[in-house]
Amino acid sequence: MKPEFRRIHENDELLPAPVCSFLMPYAEAFDIRTAEIDPAFADGENMHTQYGVNYEEELNCLVVEGSRNEIKRYAALVVPYGKRANMNAKVRNPLDAKKVSFAPLELVRELSGQEYGSITPVGLPRDWLVLVDASVMEQDRVIIGGGLAHSKLQIPTALFKEMANAVIVEGLAKE
């Protein structure tokens, strides 16, 4: 049985404060929804098996840290479930980084107010880029982490175009 996605106004306790604050102005126009899930089934394979969510609807969000000299910049990478992020120039160039690696988990948790296993690209610090693989935009609606381990968000992909810090990137995801 699929999770019961309800409008975020009815389910806002499932979202950390920064995510909720970011989404509320878009909630009605974009029909943003959230659902409670069992954290044990939060990953893509389990979301498919346990809840019947189509793989094409599912997204992964990874946070990376780019560095050049002493300067560090952060980005959320949004790729379809089952794909890996292409960590070459597709990520280094937008971050103006010489080196890119996964951001330290504790730092991500502290700066985002989100929980591991459910990091969402919405509601992150405003100076972080959100790099979205162009193939994501082929879907009308997608499912991403809700920011808390027991929640998921269902959003229209059009929301990414409204985000000031989001960049649609061709070839960000690879097999």
For residue 89, what is the domain's CATH number?
A: 3.90.960.10
Pairing state of beta strands 129-133 and 71-80? parallel
Residue 23 has a pLDDT of 96
pLDDT 10s digits, 82-112 = 999 998 889 999 999 999 999 999 999 999 9
Is 44 contained in some domain? yes
Return the structure tokens found at 138. 């082929």
Is 170 contained in some domain? yes
Nearest to 49 by CA among 112, 96, 109, 2: 2
Is 1 contained in some domain? no
Is 103 contained in some domain? yes
Is 51 contained in some domain? yes
CB-CB contact of 120 with 78 (8 Å): no
Other Cβ atoms less than 10 A from the Cβ of 149: the count is 16
Q: How does DSSP assign 72-132, residue by residue?
A: EEEEEEEEETT-EE--SHHHHHHHT-SEEEEPPHHHHHHHH---TT---STT--TTSEEEE
Which regions in the chain score pLDDT beneath 50? none
Is 21 contained in some domain? yes
Q: How far apart are CA 161 and CA 139, in angstroms?
A: 13
Residue 59, helix vs strand vs coil: strand
Residue 93 has a pLDDT of 94
Kindly tell me the burial class for residue 91, based on how many C-beta atoms sit within 10 Å of its own C-beta (0-12, 13-18, 19 or more).
buried
Residue 27 has a pLDDT of 93
Is 17 contained in some domain? yes
pTM above 0.85, yes or no: yes
Structural domain count, the chain: 1
Residue 159 has a pLDDT of 97
Which domain covers residue 126, as residue numbers? 6-174
Return the structure tokens found at 69. 């000299």
